[in-house]
């Protein structure tokens, strides 16, 4: 995850050097964005183990989100985020029993972001800090199969309260389009040892409109 974060940051800095956008008419007031992300909140998110008695494979912690924000005053924006993070855990014991757990975590978050640079500073790189709270909707589907019994399917749904604090940057390629990079730390009352509080790194793009 550190290499991914460093690589994305390096690309944004390179783009900053190569691009110059004029914002003489002011910054857009509203943005709609899409981002892909990796979230370090699932225990053993990338885990593969194979031995003589079976296998244990866990793949997940990847996801994405859609977000909307709008300026309410000077450098302060309100923000809404709808996201999804998925994981799949498959375990085979003695090659005749198999259990597959599929989970989807859907955060619905309301918060704010604050731009660190004044609108009077015409920089292509717009850093900000953000925070949000809301429900994290966790959906799990468990499928258990055995040579001697019928397959069992169990579906469970939980809603947990949580939130995040984060930092990010919008790199303005034009007045109405930006590349977005951010890092967030999620704090959620999971009540489940398979999940934990952790960082999420995302990159995407934002479509902007409206004048100051």
Write down the pTM of the prediction. 0.80
Q: Are 166 and 136 in contact, with CB atoms under 8 Å apart?
A: no
Contacts of residue 85, defined as CB under 8 A and 6 or more positions apart, other chains included, come to 37, 39, 41, 42, 60, 61, 62, 63, 104, 105, 107, 200
How far are the Cα atoms of 132, 136, 188, 197 from residue 191, in angstroms, in the given order? 20, 12, 9, 11
pLDDT of residue 24: 43
pLDDT of residue 212: 61
Single out the residue of 32, 3, 44 nearest to residue 198, CA to CA.
Answer: 44
pLDDT of residue 168: 96
State the pLDDT confidence band at 210, using cuts at 50, 70 and 90: confident
User: Cα–Cα distance between 131 and 165 in angstroms, integer?
Assistant: 4
pLDDT of residue 82: 97
Give the lowest-confidence range in 7-11, 33-37, 47-51, 107-111.
7-11
Q: Are 160 and 191 in contact, with CB atoms under 8 Å apart?
A: yes
User: Cα–Cα distance between 62 and 38 in angstroms, integer?
Assistant: 5
pLDDT of residue 3: 55
**Strand, helix or coil at 211?**
coil
Can you list the positions of beta strands (E) in 94-148?
A: 97-115, 125-146
User: What is the domain extent for residue 110?
Assistant: 2-209
The predicted model gives 190-210 an average pLDDT of 90
pLDDT (tens digit, 9 = 90+) per residue, 113-167? 999 998 888 888 999 999 999 999 999 998 888 767 777 889 999 999 999 999 9
pLDDT (tens digit, 9 = 90+) per residue, 38-89? 998 877 666 677 777 778 787 878 999 999 999 998 899 999 999 999 988 8
Counted domains in the chain = 1
Give the CATH number, domain containing residue 32: 2.40.160.20
């Amino acid at each position: 995850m550190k290499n991914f974060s460093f690589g994305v940051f390096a690309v944004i800095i390179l783009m900053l050097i190569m691009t110059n956008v004029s914002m003489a008419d002011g910054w857009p007031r509203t943005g709609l964005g899409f981002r892909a992300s990796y979230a370090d909140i699932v225990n053993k998110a990338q885990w593969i183990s194979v031995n003589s008695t079976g296998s244990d494979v866990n793949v997940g912690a990847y996801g994405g989100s859609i977000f909307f924000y709008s300026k309410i005053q000077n450098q302060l924006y309100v923000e809404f985020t709808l996201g999804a993070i998925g994981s799949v855990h498959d375990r085979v014991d003695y090659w005749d029993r198999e259990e597959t757990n599929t989970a989807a975590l859907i955060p619905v978050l309301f918060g704010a972001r604050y731009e660190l640079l004044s609108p009077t500073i015409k920089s292509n790189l717009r850093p900000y800090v953000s925070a949000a709270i809301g429900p994290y909707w966790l959906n799990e589907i468990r499928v258990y199969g055995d040579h001697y019994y019928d397959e069992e399917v169990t579906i469970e749904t939980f809603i947990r309260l949580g939130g995040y604090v984060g930092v990010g940057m919008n790199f303005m390629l034009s007045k109405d389009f930006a590349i977005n990079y951010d890092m967030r730390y999620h704090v959620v009352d999971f009540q489940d040892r398979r999940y934990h509080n952790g960082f999420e790194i995302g990159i995407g793009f934002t479509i902007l409109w409206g004048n100051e």
